[in-house]
Amino acid sequence: MDEPQAPRPLAVVTGASSGIGYHLAMLAAQHGYDLVVAADRPLDAAVADFRNAGAQQVHAVQAELASRQGVDALINTLQGREVDALMANAGHGLGGRFLDQDFTKVQHVIDTNVTGTIYLLQHVARGMVARGRGRILVTGSVAGFQPGSFHAVYNGSKAFIDSFTQALRNEMKDTGVTVSLLMPGPTDTEFFERADLLDTRMGADMKKDDPAMVARVGFDAMLKGEADVVAGWRSRMQVLAAKVMPAQAVAQVHRKLAEPGSARHPERAEVHPIGASRGKSSKDSKDSKDSTKGKR
């Protein structure tokens, strides 16, 4: 008589309908995990792909992850089952001038990127610590290093998430649970459309990383238990530049990329992000001198 098989490990992935989250869930399926996936959009097509990739059980939760009720719906789907890997990837952006933004939309960005994320993290991490094992991957962003003119709320929320995740890792270093931080740069996903950034140089012109590559970098870091990882050489250059440039110089570069209506005309040259600029205007130089006290 065949012995009953041990249950497969379970991975929870948020923001799994497309982009980085979709590819994280695909990797989990290929590595023998069952899945609970969540997003604020339909997941039917993605679920079929995850099953074809090897996941035997896939439970989908379409919920508003900006609300505690939406996160509770995800938690209730677990039905007490142990979570072996949590990939907290759900995120939302909002372009434009802060003073012109509808505060309901501002609040939604904060609640998705910060409140919903850390609420889910606390619940799942408590269970992992009680068992003495588990892996957590949080999707932060290189935006967390940059004062994000015309994307101020998103960048600010990612600064929180980057810092929070690194602090959480330190708090949990002796628990048997690893916490890893994935910091992508601009990635070729629906993010720019949803954040209303398609009329900006950042949305329309900047070269973007492949989300499958970004997910692979993050997933591998999670399996290895690494503290943090920046995906892509351009993103690593942006982080290095943001750490040494005065804060207002970084903000000025970001302004040129994210200001509404800044998308280049076909005849303009290729956009170069922070750390790859081909020169400064006299105004940029003045901003740099005036902001040395804000140097990181």
Phi, psi of 276 (to 5 degrees): -130, 25
Domain presence at residue 93? yes
Q: What is the pTM of this model?
A: 0.86
Q: 5 in a domain, yes or no?
A: no
Residue 1 lies in a domain: no
33: annotated active-site residue: no
Domain annotation covers residue 130: yes
User: In order along the chain (296 residues), what is the average pLDDT of each group of 10 residues?
Assistant: 70 96 98 97 96 96 96 95 97 94 97 98 97 97 92 96 98 97 88 83 83 96 95 82 87 90 59 46 41 36
Integer angstrom CA distances of residue 45 from 42, 49, 50, 52, 60: 8, 7, 9, 11, 11
User: Residue 191's pLDDT is what?
Assistant: 84
The predicted structure's pLDDT at residue 257? 87
Residue from 22, 33, 119, 154 carrying the catalytic annotation: 154
Structure tokens at 265: 């005309």
Residue 255 lies in a domain: yes
* Residue 146 is assigned to a structural domain of this protein: yes
Query: Which pLDDT score, from 0 to 100, does residue 204 have?
Result: 83
Does 4 fall in a domain?
Answer: no
Amino acid at 44: D
Residue 3 lies in a domain: no
Q: What is the CATH number of the domain that holds 162?
A: 3.40.50.720
Can you give the residue range of the structural domain that contains 64?
10-294
Domain count, the chain: 1
Could you tell me how many residues make up the chain? 296
Instruction: Report d(CA 106, CA 182) in Å as an integer.
Output: 23
Q: Tell me how far CA of residue 55 lies from CA of 30, 36, 167, in angstroms.
A: 7, 10, 32
Residue entry with tokens 């996936």: 37
Residue 134 φ/ψ region, left for φ over 0, alpha for ψ in the -120 to 50 degree band, beta for the rest: left
What per-residue confidence (pLDDT) applies to 237?
A: 85
d(CA 286, CA 288): 5
Q: Which of 68, 120, 116 is nearest to 92 (CA)?
A: 116
Of 240, 245, 257, 239, nearest in space to 289 by CA: 245
> What pLDDT does 292 receive?
35
Helices (H), the chain: 19-30, 44-52, 68-78, 103-110, 116-131, 152-171, 191-194, 201-204, 211-224, 233-244, 247-258, 282-290
Q: Which residue has the tokens 């070729």?
A: 188
Which residues does residue 180 pair with via DSSP β-bridges, in sequence order?
137
